[in-house]
Copies of this chain bind each other. A is one copy, B any other.
Amino acid sequence: MSVLFDRVAIMGIGLIGSSLARAIKAERLAHRVACADANAAHADRARALGIVDEAGTDPAEAAAGADLVMLCVPLGAYGEVAAAIAPALKPGAIVSDVGSVKQAVIRDVAPHLPAGVHLVPGHPVAGTEKSGPDAGFAALFPGRWCILTPLPGADEAVTRRVADLWRACGMTVERMDPDHHDHVLAITSHLPHLIAYTIVGTATDLEEHLKQEVIKYSASGFRDFTRIAGSDPTMWRDVFLNNREAVLDCLQRFTEDLTALQRAIRRGEGDILFDLFTRTREIRKGVQEARQA
């Protein structure tokens, strides 16, 4: 791969930030990678791992002179980080991000950016339930999708530079309207996480003896939900607070469907259950055929 940027600054060196740093190093996509993380131990760790050239806790210091600043912090910190880096951004710099909600990025980041700085909201759709700089790995991205939601009138050449970065990391890049992105992700990602958190939360409220048994026999299904519900609390709190309408809309549909199933069980309507369980198998096949399984 050829070098795409002279200096990349990564804000937040957690799972995604550190995976990106690793991919940039592995593919030699930038001459220099700096990072800033509010957690000094994480910044130190990133430097010790050799996945960045510079690391500290000051966003402006990392962003100074960067061609590309990638926001990899929880959504709730976007406004603050944007305000902090704004004075340090060089003319022509690109600010992009990896957040799971795109309308919020435009709302929180755009107002802080000086004229001549480009905002390219993005979302590499990949992840694990783990957190922190040690959790990242360059192989997180290949074979997955990255969604960019450029603003109306965005400079095409700039959008293409961000797309090239993610393609160099192995992703396939798509473009979408930010509101459509937020609706699709509410279904595919936010609702599943909310449900998993809820069901595992329901188990945490059980009396201690029963809770231990739930853990013990978790291989029967519960286990998969605990994995999802082991995801970063700050990141996910911010996702729900920042994609409220779309999440509540999906949740409403889900609740209606669950109520219908509840009634079918109560009434012993096996046909309704069987029909649904047969239809859901088709979706599973679709996921396998799309090689996302």
Interface residues, chain A, CB within 8 Å of chain B?
A: 76, 100, 125-127, 129, 144-145, 147, 183-185, 187-206, 210-234, 236-238, 240-241, 244, 247-248, 250-251, 253-255, 257-258, 261-262, 265-266, 268, 270, 273-274, 276-287, 290, 292-293
Contacts and interface: CB of A to CB of B under 8 A. Distances in A.
B229 A290 contact: no
Given A200-B283, A214-B188, A195 B258 contact: yes
Contact of A287 (B192, B215, B270, B274): B215
A213 B244 CA distance: 20
Nearest to A284: B230
Contacts of A201: 257, 261, 276, 279-280
Nearest to A289: B215
B265 A240 contact: yes
Complex copy number for this chain: 2
Contact of A273 (B189, B236, B283): B236
Given A204-B282, A257-B201, A187 B276 contact: no
A228 B237 contact: no
A233 B292 contact: no
Closest 4 CB pairs of A and B: A230-B284, A189-B220, A233-B277, A192-B221
